[in-house]
Chain A
Amino acid sequence: MDAFLSPAYALLDFLLPLSFAEPEFMKRAILAVLLIAPAAAAVGVPLVQFRMAFFSDAIGHSAFTGVALGVLLGIHPLLTMVAFGLFVAWAITRVKGRTGLSPDTVIGVFFSTVIALGIAIISAQKGLTRNLQAYLYGDLLAISGAEILWMATLCLAVMVYLYFAFNRILLLGVHEGFARSLGIRGRALEISFSLVVALVVTTAIRAVGILLVTALLVIPAASARNVAKGSVSAFWTAIAVSLASGIAGIAASYHLDTATGATIVLFAAALFAVTAIIRLARGETT
């Protein structure tokens, strides 16, 4: 498996000739961040437009139950986590569409239901807690070559999806009826976007953990909204924030011996603060 990755390792040696990037597990961690952070930020731009931060949080927490189900059924937890995340995303979107209840209400119901299910399973199965640790806080430094390839595939799929769907998703976020009058099939687009968000969220959990995964999607896009006026600069600012905080977070966590996922999120939050200050300095308060 690692034979596929050796050219990428060599490239990293050339681009980042620093001590923290030397060990192979660090190279894998850096590659993982370079793949998953921009994918999460790119999906985060329309996500924030849609006010779906809570949705991505609910999907993230459903992973808790997905992992528990995997251990219970004897299937690899990564598979059940992704599958369960996709199921919850689909269910929330369907129930929201059918009942006409407000999104946060539907998400609130699902959020607590999946967590309750997860806790019920874990409390019945002694010895499960140890397995969960890596998912709660993320375990970037233990990522395998196979997972890197999965992340690369996902990153590519997200790029292809956004290439074709980005414009329509943003239009749908501005006004559903108006988008529909332009021939956009709102419901299908909403479901496909929810599923893509679920894929990105469940994959990113390996990097930063269940508790922090929403940050990877929301903070870069939120920082971009502080400074960008147009769609082009908003998108690329979000990507830049995600990459900068990802690399800086890995480097700092290596030297400070802190949890990698949390350190990355702290750097992203610092960049959010910087953009907020820039905004205030420009005299734009509202």
Chain B
Amino acid sequence: MSPHGPSHTLEIRNLSVRAGGRELLSNIDADIRCGEVTALIGPNGAGKTTLLLAILGLVPFSGEIRFCRAEEHGQGTPRIGYVPQRIDLDRNAPMTVLDFFALSSQKYPVFLGRSRKSRAEAEASLGKGGVGHLIDRQLGKLSGGELQRVLLALALRGDPDILLLDEPVSGADVSGEELFCDFLDQVHKESRFSLLLVSHDLSVVTRHAGRVICLNRAIVCQGATTEVLTPETLGAMYGSGAHLFSHGPADGHGHLHGGEGK
């Protein structure tokens, strides 16, 4: 860490995204700080994934997104790692986890075979994530949790400066979810990338994120997790019926829940 406190990896200024005549995001100002875990929370349709896509340059936006690279990561444009929520693949798609790694790591086409180097690299990355045994499984047949750990292993391979995780524990069972978060904590401590985490699960947010950005088409509030996650802000975001520690999707407010304090 720099002696002047955490610097910003990502500065978002006055960002708006419009699509089909509707404003999906308006006037977003936010900073992702270097080396910190920032959680992005908000109800369904709040524009969380849209914000990630804007950062990735996948949707047109107005305003500005500046990437600032911390000195210890060296010169050049920062690398962004991305773990999508799900992938667009049939269960039977003929593609193994190793194929998937080789697609991005080797120059020659995968149909000519996978290089030894691809396999060694894939083994190392998957092994670090504790999912080395999945290497020859078909990608489409993995469970949600397994898939996310494979995608995470792949996203981490290029030593990203910023890692964007879209709903990292959706589709994972409880023990898988804990493993995933522990693994994430561990690699985050080792590599000090900035992590932007979209989550519906407030227990994950309170345990792992230092900062929170509450989004509902515009910024509701942002700041340190302990200051931001108050009943007032949650009410503003999810509607007044929501409580931080009530496990109540039945009240019509979607996935808001806080598992730990129940």
Contacts and interface: CB of A to CB of B under 8 A. Distances in A.
Task: Determine if chain A interacts with chain B.
Answer: yes
Interface of A: 45, 49, 100, 162-163, 166-168, 170-171, 173-178, 180-182, 224-225, 228-236, 284, 286
Contacts of B114: 232
Contact of B103 (A45, A170, A180, A181): A170
B104 A162 contact: no
25 contacts: A162-B109, A166-B110, A166-B111, A171-B103, A174-B88, A174-B100, A174-B139, A175-B84, A177-B52, A177-B82, A180-B57, A180-B58, A181-B82, A181-B164, A225-B92, A225-B93, A228-B94, A229-B94, A230-B98, A230-B138, A231-B96, A231-B103, A232-B111, A235-B111, A286-B91
A163 B108 contact: yes
A230 B122 CA distance: 15
Contacts of A182: 104, 158
A177 B100 contact: no
A285 to B, nearest CB: 10
B56 interface: yes
B110 A229 contact: no
B87 interface: yes
B110 A167 contact: yes
Given A175-B84, A177-B84, A231 B110 contact: yes
A116 to B, nearest CB: 28
Contacts of B92: 225, 284, 286
B25 interface: no
Contacts of A284: 92
Most buried by B among A170, A171, A230: A230
B250 interface: no
Contact of B109 (A49, A167, A177): A167
B81 interface: yes
A178 B94 contact: no
B237 to A, nearest CB: 25
A49 B87 CA distance: 12
B1 interface: no
B204 to A, nearest CB: 22
Contacts of B98: 230
B32 to A, nearest CB: 16
Contacts of A234: 94-95, 111
B95 A178 contact: no
Given A181-B155, A230-B96, A174 B87 contact: yes
A229 B96 contact: yes
Interface string B77-90: 00011111001111
A269 to B, nearest CB: 19
A177 to B, nearest CB: 5
Interface string B4-32: 00000000000000011000000000000
A230 B114 CA distance: 11
B94 to A, nearest CB: 4
Contacts of A232: 99, 110-114
B109 A163 contact: yes
B151 A178 contact: yes
A175 B94 CA distance: 15
